[in-house]
């Protein structure tokens, strides 16, 4: 293992300075503090000292995680099953609020605004920070209605023509328009798995999000559908910030610019993706990417 050089204590670039996790209790398993570089020069989401507990404090799932997520980047989150990837992702649009007994502490700011502020309305937040799940989950409605639903409830289209335009442009940006333009009023659930996932991406895009969270978006897809979604992610990066949880290191290497490696609720290492996969600084990261763990 190379020397543990943390950036967390080295510079105080924030009003809320991250603190070292070294004195935290609980299983550390060789972890002392995050190595690599958690900062981004143009952050959209700024997460500091985030802790998540389930079961009213009985189960500690995320431990003192600090990281930036930058504009127009794809950040991959990797790590063994149960390390807290989905838990952390759900913090970013307060989806954990919906889980009884789940407590989130620390600070997460979107463009400088604290998303855990008690005055913040989560409905617009979840439009700004959209989510695509592992299993495609279209509404039991038509393809058109799946995409039109969000813009309609958020008042983003003044009339039918504008709504049609939002539906068409969202389906085009999700690389699905050509396959569905002549069947818009048929059920979304009648599409193939890969098409359904792109429909879910179109639905997320339709409300003009700033950030898109994806939790293993390709794990239910075949290699061809996966390749389409990966191409789409690369295209979407021009407009959106994307955070993707993936079990596939090849996928992380293909789609992301930076990668965060989690282990037992700790953020062990974060850096440029190339560096994580070719020159990891932490033994735990190296063990995982070389297949010795997980
Ligand atoms: N709703 C919940 N209630 C209680 N504990 C939970 C809940 N969701 C997750 N956990 C626990 O939190 C820890 C992190 O789980 P999480 O689902 O975030 O891991 P993950 O890295 O996404 O795993 P996987 O790769 O298997 O999806 C695990 O120990 C899990 O059992
Ligand atoms: Mg998960």
DSSP secondary structure letter of residue 115: T
Residues with CB under 5 A from ligand 2 (ion): 86
Q: What is the mean pLDDT of each run of 10 residues along the chain (294 residues)?
A: 36 47 55 95 97 97 98 97 97 95 97 96 94 93 97 94 97 94 98 94 94 93 88 92 96 97 98 97 96 74
DSSP secondary structure letter of residue 257: S
Burial 59-68 (b: 16+ CB within 10 A, else e): ebbbbbbbbb
Helix 160-173 and helix 143-153: axis angle, to 10°? 120
Rounded distance from Cα 82 to ligand 2 centre (Å): 7
d(CA 294, CA 289): 9
| pLDDT of amino acid 4 | 33
Rounded distance from Cα 81 to ligand 1 centre (Å): 8
Rounded distance from Cα 27 to ligand 2 centre (Å): 20
Domains and CATH numbers, the chain: 35-289 (3.40.50.300)
Is 211 strand, coil or helix? Answer: strand
Residue with tokens 């990261």: 285
Pocket test for ligand 1, best of 26, 81, 87 (most atoms within 8 A of CB): 87
Pocket, ligand 1, Cβ cutoff 6 A: 54-55, 59, 61, 79, 81-87, 99
Pocket test for ligand 1, best of 26, 50, 83 (most atoms within 8 A of CB): 83
Rounded distance from Cα 83 to ligand 2 centre (Å): 8
| pLDDT of amino acid 6 | 36
Q: Which numbered ligand comes closest to the C-alpha of 100?
A: 1
Q: What is the pTM of this model?
A: 0.89
| pLDDT of amino acid 3 | 34
pLDDT in tens, 22-81: 444 555 678 889 999 999 999 999 999 999 999 999 999 999 999 999 999 999 999 999
Query: Cα 265 vs. chain centroid, distance in angstroms?
Result: 16
Rounded distance from Cα 154 to ligand 2 centre (Å): 29
Token duo for residue 262: 């989690």
Q: Which numbered ligand comes closest to the C-alpha of 214?
A: 2
| pLDDT of amino acid 28 | 62
What is the atom index within ligand 1 of the atom nearest the CA of 52? 12
């Amino acid at each position: 293992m190379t020397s543990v050089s943390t950036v967390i204590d080295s510079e105080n670039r924030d009003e809320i300075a991250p603190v070292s996790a070294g004195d935290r209790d609980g299983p550390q398993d060789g972890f002392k503090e995050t190595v690599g570089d958690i900062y981004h020069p143009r952050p959209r989401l700024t997460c500091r000292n985030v802790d998540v507990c389930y079961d009213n404090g009985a189960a500690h799932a995320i431990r003192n995680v600090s990281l930036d997520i930058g504009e127009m980047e794809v950040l991959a989150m990797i790590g063994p099953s149960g390390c807290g990837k989905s838990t952390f992702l759900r913090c970013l649009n307060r989806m954990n609020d919906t889980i009884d007994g789940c407590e989130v502490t620390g600070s997460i700011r979107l463009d400088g605004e604290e998303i855990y502020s008690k005055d913040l309305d989560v409905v617009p937040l979840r439009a700004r920070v959209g989510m695509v799940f592992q299993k495609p989950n279209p509404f039991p409605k038509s393809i058109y209605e799946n995409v039109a639903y969000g813009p309609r409830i958020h008042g983003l289209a003044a009339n039918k023509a504008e709504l049609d335009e939002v539906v068409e442009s969202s389906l085009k940006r999700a690389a699905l328009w050509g396959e569905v333009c002549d069947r818009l009023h048929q059920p979304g659930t009648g599409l193939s798995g890969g098409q359904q996932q792109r429909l879910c991406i179109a639905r997320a895009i339709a409300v003009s999000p700033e950030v898109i969270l994806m939790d293993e978006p390709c794990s239910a897809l075949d290699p061809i559908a996966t390749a389409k979604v990966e191409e789409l992610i690369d295209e979407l990066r021009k407009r959106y910030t994307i955070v993707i949880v993936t079990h596939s290191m090849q996928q992380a290497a293909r789609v992301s610019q930076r990668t965060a490696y989690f282990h037992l609720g700790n953020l062990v290492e974060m850096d440029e993706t190339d560096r994580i996969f070719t020159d990891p600084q932490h033994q735990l990261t190296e063990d995982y990417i070389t297949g010795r763990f997980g």
